[in-house]
Every structure is written in structure tokens, then in C-alpha cells.
Chain A
């Protein structure tokens, strides 16, 4: 443990400002994508679950339900994808 903390201290001292910035950017990018994925995950789960329920109740309407489901997924998923773009921007830009 002691050796590790000394190692960490030494590592911290050797960091330049640019290194620290990129570390912060990487950590924040991870958080940004993680947070952005929560909402759409719940949304898509709920949406697909309900669609399966509808298809099981009325198999003859399955085609229409499937189309609408894909539409809903596309709109919900956009939020997660914007989160991913933010991740790329934070990490690499």
C-alpha cells in the first residue's frame, strides 16, 4: 500500500498541465456518456417491452407496431448518441 501511494505521488508530481487536462477530460467523458445512456436505456427498454406486449396481444397488428417501435427507438436513441458525440469531443477534441 505504502509503495503504491508513493508511486502515485511520484506520478502526480511528474504530470504536466496538459496531462492533467487530458486526464480530467477522459474522466469527464466517461461520466458524460454514462449519464447520457441512463435515460435512453430506460426509455428503449420500456418502449420495446410495451411493443412486445402489444404484438403478443394483437399479432395481426405486429407490422404497424414494429414500424412505430423503430420510430420511437430512433427518437429515444438520439439522446444517447448525442452523449456519445460529446464523449468523442471531450476525449479527442
Chain B
């Protein structure tokens, strides 16, 4: 007959017991990510810049170069090189929060809870609105509400859409993109893990079902590889979108 797969309630997958009050595994992962980045770059900084880079410094320089070549130069051009530190820290922090999703013992991406993506996208939100105000003054908001170069009849409509999309939709979509991608990955891995377990230990008269557990297991391995890709890609996409938004508020309406 049928045997039902007992899927645990969603809180069992996402809510972790406190290690000590107000501090659980998510907090631990976030703190560890920040510490790893800080320690890594201070170690790299201790080597002389005059010599050819080796070891830690080599990796650190490669990462900086990746952000400069792959993200800043592609989206902001030379004027954006000052933004490299912010974007580099965003990329590394998000990546190190994502990757515990596939690391045994942790098995939980810190970004699968909405707190960290929300905080990061609010940070980006403050940064790009601040940049807009710094570069264009109050004109930043009037440009948003009354965009130049649009037929006057359409201005209220376009202005409203622009305003809502810049002020409200952008941080929301940044948050949801990162959060939902990682949550989906986490739930997917749990599903295939549960399927494997349920088939392997199924109390059933049909013995041929038990070796079938290798199929969800293969899928689990492939999905784990895919989750590594997602962890890198989502960190990259978040960073590149942050760069695009900052660039937009820096120079959006200079040509008018």
C-alpha cells in the first residue's frame, strides 16, 4: 500500500534552538562569516605589497580583482572604483552566509532567514539613496517624481511608477531574490534527503523499493552541487545589482 512521507513542519527546518539566549545557529554563521573575512584580509594585509603576492595575499588580490573587473568595471566604469570595498564585503559576506547550506554540521544558509537579506538590502537602499542625495541634492527625488525627457501628459504616471519602483520595489525584490533562492535550495535539499531516508528505511513488503533510494540520493548529490553554484551566483547578482543601483543614483540624469 501507500506509505506517506512525513514532511516536518517548516519551523523544524528553519528555526534553530538558541545556543545561548538571543543567539542561534544563524547568528553564529553570520558572526563567523564576518570574522573569516576580517581575519583573512588582515592576514593578507600583513604581507608586503612590494613583493610578488603569495598564499593568502594572492587569493585576496584575486578576489579584489574579480570585483573590480567583473562587477565595478562592467556596471559603473572607472568612476565606481571607490565602491570596491563595499561591494567586496557585500559579496564575501553573502557568499559566506550562503555556503553553510551545503557544509555538513551547519547545513543551513544564514540567508534563508529573511533577517540577513533584509538588513543587507536596507543597507544598499540607504547607500544608493544617500549617493543620489549627495550627487544630485534634493533634485534626486524631484527627478524621480518628475522625470525629465518624458511627455508632460505622462509625467505623473511615469513619475509615480519610477518613484514606487525605486523606493519600495527595489529593496523588496533584492531581499526576496536572495532569501527565496536560498530558502528554496534548503527545502529542496531537505526534500531529497527525506526521500532517500524514507525509501532506505521503508517498512514495506516490496523489497525492490529499498534499492530505489539510490535515485533520490543521486539527485541529492547533484542538487548539492547546484546549491554551490546558487550560493556563488546569488552573491554575485546581489553585488552587481547593488552596483547598478548605486551607479543609477550617481549619474542617472547628468545628460539632461
Contact = CB atoms under 8 A, between A and B. Distances in A.
Most buried by B among A71, A74, A78, A85: A74
A74 B240 CA distance: 10
B71 to A, nearest CB: 8
Contacts of A92: 9-10
A14 interface: no
Interface of B: 9-10, 70, 74-75, 173, 176-177, 179-181, 183-184, 233, 236-237, 240-241, 244
Interface of A: 63-64, 67, 70-71, 73-75, 77-78, 81-82, 84-85, 88, 91-92
Contacts of A70: 233, 236-237, 240
17 contacts: A64-B74, A67-B74, A67-B240, A70-B233, A70-B240, A71-B244, A74-B240, A74-B241, A75-B173, A78-B177, A81-B176, A84-B180, A84-B183, A84-B184, A85-B179, A85-B180, A88-B183
Nearest to B69: A63
A5 B27 CA distance: 52
Contacts of A64: 74
B contact patch SS:
helix
A contact patch SS:
helix
B59 to A, nearest CB: 22
B121 to A, nearest CB: 12
A71 B177 contact: no
Nearest to B233: A70
